[in-house]
Chains A and B, each alone.
Chain A
Amino acid sequence: MNAEARTYQKGEIPGIIAINADVCKGCDSCKRYCPTGAITGMFGAIHSIDVEKCINCGQCLINCPFGSIYETVDTVDTVIVKLQDKNVTVVGIPAPAVRVAIGEEFGMADGSLVTKEMYGAMKKAGFEILDNNFAADLTIMEEGTEFIVRARHALFGEEAHGHKVGPLPQFTSCCPAWVRYVETRYPALIPNLSSAKSPQQMAGPLAKTYGALEVWKKPPETIYTVGIMPCTAKKFEASRPEFTSAYHFLKKEGKAGSDTPYPDVDTVLTTRDIARLFKKMKIDFTKVGETDGGPLAEYTGAGTIFGNTGGVMEAAVRTAYKVLTGNELQPLEFKKVRGMKGVKSASVTLMDTKYGKEVTVNLAVVNGIHGNIEPVLESIMAGTSPYHFIEVMNCPGGCVNGGGQPIKSDGSSWLRVALPLFGWK
């Protein structure tokens, strides 16, 4: 591990999160939330962020009591210009956690589920919609089946066709802060990450290929994809140079329409950003009415629960169970991986009908990297980990508590600390 080495590829956005020295009081709050110790500065002195160590999660930003931490990447005005350009089709990709939070920016009750109002506001602004829940369903089918391949390889020596099978335990890979954490701090464990892209990065190519050619009937190079995410690290993820799959696929097909590679996801707006965009465009979210999302806004409950801690694991277990046994998991809710505990674990025994053998799978869900991940990773490095499949979400609670979500002026996070003092549960 060499945290001092340059940790960005060419084209990636470094330093998405920064501290305003004029506002910083040196109170040290941010350090308590930073999972990588990227924040420097002594108590009482102005703090700053080491961009090489930062994984862009934005937890410091949403938890700074004085609002001194901000995002350096703001493309709200750029997106508005694209929306007003008749030669461009702007495709919004709203994540599961956005629809339960954006209402707060417009005075609605916390946690209001406003999917159809969100579609309505997006349509009014000029977006086409590819719901990220749809892509989350794709991700979980990929991750779930990849896990089956890895497990069968480990247990029965089954080989995959055309590629090397990764080791167990398999990590989820949809959290970009977590992926960067592994890449910069535990590169030896990169093969353990699922090779499946995150829902955002599956949605981008889908929009520029199938969406452009089959749904909206537009030239792919005129499609401008906008991830609408609860997450600041998604801005970094979209800038990764390897995510130009749509261009390279279309190039082979002779349909790229450009000699310059374009990104799968052109830009990312956080929940706060999209709310600001609606306000700038004078769209009253509370009065816009309900609208359907269109053909690329169909999804299952598995995609929906991605935004919560344990959601990806629960969805993966359902998928793996169905693929291995041919039956639906009963009951469908896998409650052992729900809840706010730092590390949750569970075992599932299921029958692999292909091999006619019962298999017990040990699962873990890491709810927040900070303070939870090190022992899990160290046990894997030492070869003593009991787990086969591990979900990791950087932010406590999952994406619903992401760094791009509305900043609560009267949040209740302090209750979690205070309640044990008074007895609760």
Chain B
Amino acid sequence: MSKNQSWILKHPWSVRSFHYLLVLSFIPLAITGVVLFFKPFDQLTMNLYMRIHVVTGVILTLDAVAYFIIGFTRVIAFVKRSFSFSANDIKWFSILGGYPQKFLLRKKVAVPPMGKYNSGQKLFGICVLIGGTILIATGWGLWGFPHILPHSMAALFGTLHLVFGWLLILFLLVHIFLGIYMFDDFKAMFLHGKIPCEEAKEMAPLWVEREVVKIER
């Protein structure tokens, strides 16, 4: 990290530690979930996958609950940001953030100014908030109480778990790709939490303009 450069703290420690645990739990959950869906292995192996699925599911739940309590104000801020829409979001989606043009045509197009999260990230945030909550709730129901749930509720839990599981897995693949592509943000999330001020001005001008405050040291 260059000392001559200005930096913005984008991901504080609480967010980073929540994200570490999320990575450690969701990726095994996704892999074991896919295996449990296709059931390709023998009894012992399938049981091992199910156990890993359950243990990592418990870790994910504890992580989410702990962050909800410890980082409550950040959760509220994240919800607010994810559900704040403007005409810019429509414009952003109409060009998909300029990414297809960049990757496929090697062409840079004008992207409408975004806040801390761009429209795609907001959509992902909404899916994570709603889908994650549904996955946790249905997962506990399917693990602990399928035999006492009304049948239609158990079946609904199964369907919701499946649909949102696949949805978040697909989103995860895009998230990992773009996360690595925006490497400064990747380093910020996994290392020090900070992104270069110049990059933030380019990627999230409205955030820098309206919310970021300069701190003199």
Contacts and interface: CB of A to CB of B under 8 A. Distances in A.
A35 to B, nearest CB: 14
Contacts of A27: 142, 146-147
A301 interface: no
Contacts, number: 74
A408 interface: yes
Given A25-B158, A43-B50, A67-B155, A414 B142 contact: no
B45 to A, nearest CB: 8
A42 B150 contact: no
Interface stretch (B36-44, B73-81, B83-91): B36-44
B121 interface: no
Interface in B27-48: 36, 39, 42-44, 46-47
A418 interface: yes
Given A63-B147, A65-B149, A414-B149, A43 B154 contact: no
A417 interface: yes
A27 B53 CA distance: 13
Which range contains the number of B residues in contact with the other chain?
20 to 34
A26 B142 CA distance: 11
B28 to A, nearest CB: 14
Nearest to B145: A414
B155 A45 contact: no
Interface residues of A, number: 27
A66 interface: yes
A148 B142 CA distance: 51
Contact of B53 (A44, A409, A410): A44
Contacts of A25: 36, 142, 158
Interface in A18-35: 25-29, 32-33
Interface string A49-86: 00000000000000101110000000000000000000
Given A25-B158, A33-B147, A65-B147, A409 B46 contact: no
A119 B21 CA distance: 64
A409 B148 contact: no
A45 B39 contact: yes
A41 interface: yes
A42 B148 contact: no
Given A45-B47, A418-B148, A66 B53 contact: no
Interface of B: 36, 39, 42-44, 46-47, 49-51, 53, 142, 145-155, 158
